[in-house]
Amino acid sequence: MMVEALLNRGVQKLVEVNGRVKPSDLVVIVTDFKMFQIAERVALAVIRAEAEPMICVMRPRDHDGQEPPPPIARAMAEADVIFTPVSKSITHTKAMRAALDLGARAVLMTAHDEAVLTSPALLETDFEAQATLCGRLAAVLRRAQSVHLTSAKGTDLRFSLKGRDHANSLTGIPNPGQLAPVPTIEVNVVPIEGTAEGLLVVDCSVPYLGIGLLREPIICTVEAGYITSIEGGEQARQLERNLRSYNDKNCFNIAELGIGLNPNARPTGVMLEDEGILGTIHIGIGTSHTLGGSILAPTHYDLLIWNPTIELDGVVIQRGKEILLSDCDVAEPHLA
């Protein structure tokens, strides 16, 4: 009974706080057969919010980033709010980008299970309180020209943001045209294509392909914006085999710097909690189109790194869990 109550509380928070569902909203719930029971819970919470839910069921996608069927894409384009309890991510798809461009707000629920729905990262986090920090950090990234990332384990990566002037503030409470990979809270930015150079030492998780929490680091050499070599143990070989199987150089593109900002998130090996861990960054590889870049690829995977130091134009703005923003930085509004 206790677990059931927590599950209902988690789903209700997703619908009422994160999705801000109103009675006038058309809510599209995209799911697959593996996740249908979660989709039903979301639909019941939408009905309790006096809105109209529509569940769209597809077969599980073969891989993250595979497009949903055209009828589901059309339904997404008509939605006010989209929930995605799916076993494989449809976040970085043309269908999602089109729906956002038409004003949908999307609550992403990839691989959500009972553990996610009852986690402190969801139940105990004040998403509205973190929105101000997200806004300040996004504003700083929009003004930055260059980025230098380091970590104690050996990460040393540089890239340019010159001319980008766009950063995504994922507060967990999306406005129209925005997505929220709940319970992640993060700010992310797309490096200027072809500028990333250096070394990535990935030591937290790769929450895709069943890799999850890392037993040993994955070491990636980056040249001219692309990963050119991957070294490490069996998990590194698993990642490399998958990327090479697509026979598409863009799968190795350095697509994103994401900065986790959820103080209650913990490493689990599950994507939407891991990516929000305060004290980590993630480097997205593959497609950048959904985030504001120009690269299209059949995949987008995030590689998580513990205890980073981030320098923007030579100024340290993060060291481990400490976000170092001056008082002169002005918060931007994020909640309509």
pTM of the model as a whole: 0.87
Distance CA 85, CA 22 (A): 20
Axis-axis angle for helices 94-101, 70-78 (nearest 10)? 20
Domain ranges of the chain: 2-118, 126-323
3-state secondary structure of 238: helix
- Report which residue type is found at 301: Y
pLDDT tens sequence for the chain (336 residues): 678 889 999 999 999 999 999 999 999 999 999 999 999 999 999 999 999 999 999 999 999 999 999 999 999 999 999 999 999 999 999 999 999 999 999 999 999 999 999 999 999 999 999 999 999 999 999 999 999 999 999 999 999 999 998 999 999 999 999 999 999 999 999 999 999 999 999 999 999 999 999 999 999 999 999 999 999 999 999 999 999 999 999 999 999 999 999 999 999 998 889 999 999 999 999 999 889 999 999 999 999 999 999 999 999 999 999 999 874 454 444 444
Topology, domain 2-118 = Thermophilic metalloprotease-like (3.40.1830)
Q: What is the DSSP letter of 250?
A: G
**CA proximity to 77, closest of 32, 30, 116:** 30
Element (H, E) at 142: helix 127-143
